[in-house]
Amino acid sequence: MTAPAIFLLGTLGVGGSERKVVRIANALASEGRPVQLAWLGGADTLLTEIASDVVVSPLFRQGKYSIPALRRLIGLLRRTRPCVLVNVNFYPMVYSAPARALTGSDVRLLASINTTDLRGTRESRFMHFYAPLLRHMDTVIFGAYAQAAAWQSTFKVDAQRSKVIHNGVDTDYFQPPSPAVRSRIRARLGLPEAAPVVICVAQLRPEKAHGDLLEAFARCDVSTARLVLVGDGPLRDELKRQAKELGLEDRILFAGEVTDVRPFLAAADLFALSSVAVETFSNAALEASAAGLPVVLTDIGGARELVDEGASGLVVPPRNPAALATALEDLLRDQARCARMGELGRARTVAAFGFGRMLAEWVSVLWDEGGVVASRPPQQVA
């Protein structure tokens, strides 16, 4: 019988990394692959989204470092004898490395790192501790070639033990809407039928730099345009105040957290993301591209691997509202070009970034069937 693979998370709270792991685990289980999810503690919001045939193991961490949680992980390794344990981001390594050592297990330790730029993040303060653990991993999975190169250079991660697996999106689930569906959704959301609409899907947090997007949108000389912000977070009230100060109250829809983003994508003409840190290979941008929208991204992480520059979208410098405004205005003023770029983006996403492709690469890495070496970015898709 094939030995199981275990994903170890810090929490099962709602987040891009956590949600992606749940989707991967569910898909692996549906194929009959033995997969388990363990989490150290904190929120378990995503527990209801985990398929019944995925084994779950809460470790009940309490405090800054929990010896009882470590003991539970050791017990889990001894009971299940997994072939591989995947640490999702940094903190789980603090438990998996000593657990392997104390059990004498031959389990392979992988780390899946979803962060590119640590400046200003909590993890940056702990990298003197995390970096040696990262170099101790048997394999480090990165989400983009640019990210892999940065980590290999800055934190001396061995290139021979690095793999790149781009995020994947279900291109059947995310599709361009019909004109009738688009009109119906716009009416429901109170968006004018003929207005060009920009959408951003991201938590309202500092690293997403929504303030730059609001400033850029205010600079665009397209008075009929509308901006839809999907997501919630600690900056919601501050961003509403900024929108009022910029005179944008009547042109911005704060949609909040939603369970299904597809109706909002269907109502839009253009996707924009103004992140200044953390972003590696945006799932939100992939979903928008699969839905037939051109994307405007800041030059963070793997943005230039996701976008075929000038064909499926545009890439602008981060922290530069003027450059972002120029890109948005160019596309908002040329709806035909906007539509063509969306079509090319959809074709590129189907060809290079489908969920099935990502899942096959994870299977290869988890069960040691070769893997995906971090060597070169994907070819552009015309």
Q: Per the domain annotation, does 90 fall within a domain?
A: yes
Is 362 found in the same domain as 341? no
Q: Per the domain annotation, does 380 fall within a domain?
A: no
Annotate 298-340 with DSSP letters as a single string. ES-TTHHHHS-BTTTEEEE-TT-HHHHHHHHHHHHT-HHHHHH
- Cite the beta strand spans of 47-177 per DSSP E: 55-58, 84-88, 108-113, 139-142, 162-164
Q: Per the domain annotation, does 207 fall within a domain?
A: yes
| Average pLDDT score over residue span 48-52 | 95
Is 215 found in the same domain as 294? yes
Q: What does pTM read for this prediction?
A: 0.89
Counting every residue written for the chain, the total comes to 382
Q: Per the domain annotation, does 375 fall within a domain?
A: no
Is 346 found in the same domain as 239? yes
Take residue 288 and report the two structure tokens written for it. Answer: 């928008």
Is the separation of the CB atoms in 147 and 116 below 8 Å? yes
Model confidence at 120: pLDDT above 80: no
Per-residue confidence (pLDDT) for residue 381, from 0 to 100: 42
Is 149 found in the same domain as 14? yes
Is 106 found in the same domain as 206? no
Q: Per the domain annotation, does 376 fall within a domain?
A: no
Domain that residue 332 falls in: 179-352
Report the number of distinct structural domains present in the chain. 2
Is 105 found in the same domain as 141? yes
SS3 of 1, please? coil
Is the separation of the CB atoms in 19 and 50 below 8 Å? no
CATH assignment of the domain containing 148 = 3.40.50.2000
Per-residue confidence (pLDDT) for residue 121, from 0 to 100: 59
- Percent of the chain clearing pLDDT 70 (strictly above): 93
**What's the one-letter identity of residue 269?**
D
Please report, to the nearest 10 degrees, the dihedral formed by the alpha carbons of residues 350, 351, 352, 355 taken in order: 40
Q: Per the domain annotation, does 140 fall within a domain?
A: yes
Is 102 found in the same domain as 220? no
Is the separation of the CB atoms in 143 and 281 below 8 Å? yes
Q: Per the domain annotation, does 378 fall within a domain?
A: no
Model confidence at 315: pLDDT above 50: yes
- Cite the beta strand spans of 240-305 per DSSP E: 252-256, 270-273, 295-298
Dist. CA 260–CA 178, nearest whole Å:
18
Is 323 found in the same domain as 195? yes
Give the confidence band of 294 by pLDDT, cuts at 50, 70, 90: very high
Among 5-14, 103-112, 339-348, 371-380, name the one with the lowest average pLDDT.
Answer: 371-380
Q: Per the domain annotation, does 194 fall within a domain?
A: yes
